[in-house]
Amino acid sequence: MQKILECVPNFSEGKNSQIIDQIALQIKSVPNVKLLGVEMGESANRTVFTFAGEPESVIEAAFLAIQKASELIDMRQHLGEHPRIGATDVCPLIPISGISMEETVVLSKKLAQKVVEKLEIPIFLYENSAQNPKRQKLEYLRSGEYEGLEKKLQNPDFQPDFGKNIFNPKSGASILGARNFLIAYNFNLATKSVEIANKIAQKIRESGYLDKEKNVRIKGTCQAVKAIGWYIKEYGFAQVSTNVTNTNVTPLHKVHEQVCEFAKKYETSVIGAELIGLIPLKVLLETAHFYCQKESKMLPESESEQIEIAVNYLGLNHLGSFYPQKKIIEYALKNQ
């Protein structure tokens, strides 16, 4: 089996396309690596890259991208809706085929070491690479964001896994780690209310919310799901932004059903969705099966027809056409 590693770095720049183009050129310059997607978000002021290929080549491409971001992005000037801690905010590595999670963890540490040695950017390890259980969660490492980073670095309990606890004002810090495939899926709401979006997010996300009257944390309805609410200026509506970290635990169609249900309770509705990055084929096929069964419809034999059903139910055509050859990871790798 061919060894394929995926990398999905998130950079704190979503407005200046020239900067993004220069980062993309670094990735494209590495042989045996395929750049699969570049998605800029103006309100979030953030861009998500997706590339994959031979593991060692992916590590080289990731380093070059981080290096270019450190040259071109100045966190002292950065403002955006999305939480962030540095110019390269987070850089996950995902084993796709022929490579184990354990091998991916080793590669994440190799990348972290190189970034520290060459760029002097403090590195925190998360997910499967975390050396401390409480550091597995991205939101823990990102709490306080860039603005609180200098102070947090002085905390003995918040020392970098690689590098010194010296604040880098231009680049901040970066979070690296090996993780399972994650689906970044944003629900578009028929409202501008961030308050409603946040209430829905609190109800569904695994971490839930704090009931202040009872002083207890109420768990959300969807395990392995992270969610926040925000307003997207360029779209003119609020979103419930979710990260589905394990579709074997909570299928995407369940998250969709739950968001729709809570949206109705708050007197709004889901009008569509936005997929950031790529999605595995099996997730869409499972979605088609679920909705055909729910609506007592016959499931088509054709894979393309099943994909069309899933895309329509999930609202993935809301902000633009959904192209399976570009957005489904198996298809994208095959067609590059």
Structure tokens at 28: 């494209």
**DSSP class of 242:** E
CB contact at 8 A, 277 and 8: yes
Q: Is 82 a catalytic residue?
A: yes
- Number of Cβ within 10 Å of residue 137's Cβ equals 15
Determine the angle formed by the axes of helices 281-294 and 303-314, rounding to 10 degrees.
80
Would you list the DSSP string of 141-156? HHTTTGGGHHHHTTSG
Could you tell me how far CA 303 lies from the centroid of its own chain?
26
Task: Indicate the pairing of strand 123-125 with strand 174-178.
Answer: parallel
Q: Answer for the pair 309, 292: CB distance below 8 angstroms, yes or no.
A: yes
Catalytic residue among 78, 82, 253, 256: 82
Angle 8-11-12 from CA coordinates, rounded to 5°: 150
Dihedral pair phi/psi, residue 32, rounded to 5°: 65, 25
Question: What is the maximum alpha-carbon separation in the chain?
Answer: 60
Question: What DSSP line would sit under 299-317, residue for residue?
Answer: PPS-HHHHHHHHHHHHTTT
The tokens describing 290, both together, are 């679920």
Give the residue numbers annotated as catalytic, written as ranges.
82
